[in-house]
Amino acid sequence: MWLLLIVNLAGKVAAVAVGWSSPAAAVTLWLLPDALLAYHLFVPRSQGLVRTARRFATTRREAWLTIDDGPDPDDTPRLLALLAADGARATFFVVGEKAARHPGLVRAIIAGGHEVALHTQTHPLATFWCASAARVGRELDAAREVLRAAGVRPTRFRPPAGIKNLWLAPALRARGLSCIGWSARGLERAGGNAEAVAGRVLHGLAPGAILLLHEGPRVPAAIRVEAVRRVLGRLRELDYRCVVPAAEQLAG
């Protein structure tokens, strides 16, 4: 983080030093560090601000199914039934305020043999990137308290849409949380039907892939749950198992 900030500041100083003697160079020196910082804030695969796991180490045909934005009273029970019927395990990255409304669903996820992880307290998609250090801490701590009340001590976190924050890395370290990204995602709101979503999330499937899907009303009704059903079916056809990897298996 500090290296990126130093580069950004150095670019601004250099731009001022060049000044009017070379306007094009000054503009480049002023804007290029901003573009670099924006890349590390907004591009999910970036690693400069927060080390983010995008796959896990395995020699077997295994994938990690992760489901964001729950728990949802309509979707979560159906997803748990699908996973149980398939013998699959998954990680649910839950939003704290939703978990507070549905603690029974959190307990049901755990009872089903799955993992519950953090996805912030309020899912501040538009403002997480510019949140203060104090707000980042509140988003983490409030969600952790909700999950503790349900008997869960989470160790993993996924930021909204994979967007980073300047203060996120130290906040995660202080709380013993690792940041989890993905290898492929369904992009449920990008268009198409459940089959198209399943195709996107399984594109380039390989052992150790982290697959991202969503639950809840933000997902179109025709896709909700059905996309997960199709992904599970296709993984079964390809002889893949859905597992939750150990911490030492995670890789950037």
Q: Active-site residues: which are they?
A: 68, 214
CB 180 within 8 A of CB 157: yes
The DSSP letter of residue 13 is H
Task: Please give the single-letter amino acid code of residue 131.
Answer: A
**Alpha helix stretches (DSSP H) within 96-178:** 96-101, 103-111, 133-149, 168-174
Give CA angle at 78 (77, 84), nearest 5°. Answer: 90
Peptide bond into 44 cis (omega under 30): no
Q: How many CB atoms lie within 10 A of CB 3?
A: 8
What is the Cα–Cα distance from 208 to 21, expressed in whole angstroms? 53
User: Distances in Å between the alpha carbon of 39 and those of 5, 146, 165?
Assistant: 13, 32, 11
- H-helix or E-strand containing 118? strand 115-118
- If 0-12 CB within 10 Å is exposed, 13-18 middle and 19+ buried, where does residue 126 land? exposed
